[in-house]
With several copies, the nearest count.
Chain A
Amino acid sequence: MTAPTITGVTPDAATQRDIYRRMALIKANDERARKVIRAGKLVLPYYSPRGQEVIPSALSVLLTNDDYICTIYRGIHDMLAKGVPLKDLWAELAGRVTGTCKGKGGPMHITHPKSGVMVTTGIVGSSMPIANGLAWASQIKGDGRVTVAYFGDGASNIGAFHESLNLAAVWKLPVVFVCQNNEWGEHTAYEKATSARQIADRAVGYAMPGARVDGNDPFAMYAAAKDAVDRARAGGGPTLIEAMTYRFHGHVLGDADAYMDKARKEAAVAADPVPRFRAHLIAEGIATEAELAEVEAAIEAELDEAVAHALASDYPTVEELARDVFAPEAVVGEAA
């Protein structure tokens, strides 16, 4: 990891610290989540983003709350990097009425428009078609917003991927397609499912800029993201970024991950991007050990508070089953 020197593409020191803060938050949040779930305090399907911290962190520093993202079940890192408040998020993981979605959506369906998290989906590939629509809205309004669609390598093989990239290219939409290639789709290795030598190659079929980047390198990721986000904001249309990363854990918490090559996994964990970037910041004098320790301590304190808040909150009442199916104000005949 060496900072590239092209002017305007390397994040400045404050931005580097900002990227690190987001990465540290994702890592700490993940460790807390696994601990709390393993302790039996919460029961939920949990898809760990450990190992993939860099991607949304380096990208989100280029976005504001007005920019949109659509993400997936394995998207808690994307949400955190985009700024979903910890308390609301944890309350949702806990299924409480204080959660982002009153507990009704749960971990796979976090929505938080205030921070631009418009859709979180459990259906592989479905973040992309909806992202196009948000981007179409921005194109009509001319509001300069960018929409990011996150998805996995496995998702690059489903029809919705293809339809979405084609439409975005034909309509020149301000959208960035970010494939987080963590080498696995559930228990299936990349090459068992994906014919492309690299997913970035598929951009050619849409006459769209496409790039494979080291998604665990904050500098490479930032540069690629900046290029794509700038292009989208300037009306230059969509980009496909294939961000290479690695899934540190099994598909879902509880998955014994026996199918994953041990050596490959150990190498990835040894190259953990979070401590690596931390060491870089200190080595380059961008932050001191004490400063970063303070950031991390603040995160832990915030997590303590969020978890406590979540566990102390009420569950929604069963009346919620009948609410939010349709708008309350909708004038219709008697309900079916």
Chain B
Amino acid sequence: MSDTSQITILQAINKALTDAMAEDDSVLVLGEEVADPEEGGIVGVTKGLSTRFGPHRVRSTPISEQAIIGAAIGASLAGFKPVAEIMLMNFTTVAMDMIVNHAAKLRFMSGGQTHVPIVIRTMTGAGFGTGGQHCDYLEAWFAHTAGIKVVAPSNAADAYGLMRSAIEDPDPVLFIENLPTYWTPSAAPQPGARVPLGKASVLSPGQDVTVIAYARMVQEAQAAVAVLKAGGISAELIDLRSVAPWDRRTVLESVARTGRALVVHEAVTPFGVGAEISAVIHEELFSRLKAPVKRLGGAFCPVPFSKPLETAFAPRATDIEAAVRSLLATA
């Protein structure tokens, strides 16, 4: 990486954590392997933090996800802003009580007396042959839960800016990191720059169709949009960045113009994030739509191990391209 104006998502998150901890003593980090004696995280996202900020503020934990989120919640009730890592998204399944029944609800149930300003970092992403229990895409569960926000950046600047905002946000935020894109370089963030929660970004403007994606699917969509452009089709690409709350205004404004929309995610299609976005677009823009909103998601099965199946599991650029073409063929 010779271009110093480019960094990876992994570096961006490390930098965001470092900057936040340096600026604010109340920011803590905990999770399995996060401290430096344990190598600063399984792929090094939290490297250097414990050395710089000490073992009180940065703690490796036992393999005890309920205890991890519980400790984060409790510390947040006492004024801290903990960033808790649940190594992989599938492991949130053992901590759902803490996340959903407590972190997301304490503000409401206490009538606003307490609140839970925690960030839950978690990684996921198929592509490494880890199979059915290591790369689920569960964002829809949390989006369906009142009281917690969900973000899923696709590039370094957004990762940095969303992490800074997530840490400062007074409520719990699930911060989803996509493993296969960790090492992809992109434009470095301005130091300290925040990306607001709940704001999408329009990556490329277009007139014919709106493509809505987040996390790794943005890269696939970008490739598809480039091919489509070469073929004379002008697709507007929206990177959702925040899944909940999502940026209705930006999405609706775009689809109102294009009249056509495609939502893409890696999670399985049924009852996924795409369903909500599709439903809202239809509700709000019924008479302006030229074709029904299309959804592309992962195959309706656990993530398979075998390489050809794993590759076929999630939508690819060619699938996105084909879906856009079929959208344009309608009506």
Contact = CB atoms under 8 A, between A and B. Distances in A.
A/B contact in complex, CB under 8 angstroms: yes
Interface of A: 43-45, 68, 70, 95-97, 99-109, 111-113, 118-119, 121-126, 128-141, 147, 154-155, 157-160, 163-164, 166-167, 170-171, 185-188, 192-194, 258-259, 315-318, 320-327, 329-336
B131 A188 contact: no
Contact of A109 (B63, B64, B133): B133
Contact of A158 (B75, B80, B94, B270): B94
A129 B103 CA distance: 12
A306 B201 CA distance: 51
B14 to A, nearest CB: 17
A124 to B, nearest CB: 5
B64 A101 contact: no
6 contacts: A99-B111, A100-B111, A101-B110, A133-B76, A186-B38, A336-B246
A123 B101 contact: yes
Given A104-B108, A136-B74, A188-B32, A166 B305 contact: no
Nearest to A143: B78
B18 to A, nearest CB: 19
Contacts of A331: 196-198
Contacts of A167: 61-62, 64, 67, 71
Of B38, B74, B200, B302, the most chain A CB neighbours within 10 A belong to: B74
Given A121-B102, A167-B61, A138 B38 contact: no
Given A95-B305, A104-B304, A108-B133, A133 B78 contact: yes
Given A104-B304, A333-B249, 13 more contacts: A45-B128, A101-B110, A103-B111, A104-B305, A105-B305, A134-B75, A136-B74, A140-B28, A157-B62, A326-B149, A336-B143, A336-B244, A336-B300
A329 B115 CA distance: 13
Contacts of B200: 333
Nearest to A333: B198
Contacts of B9: none
B157 interface: no
Contact of B199 (A134, A258, A333): A333
Contact of A122 (B111, B112, B131, B242): B131
Interface string B1-43: 0000000000000000000000000001000110001110010
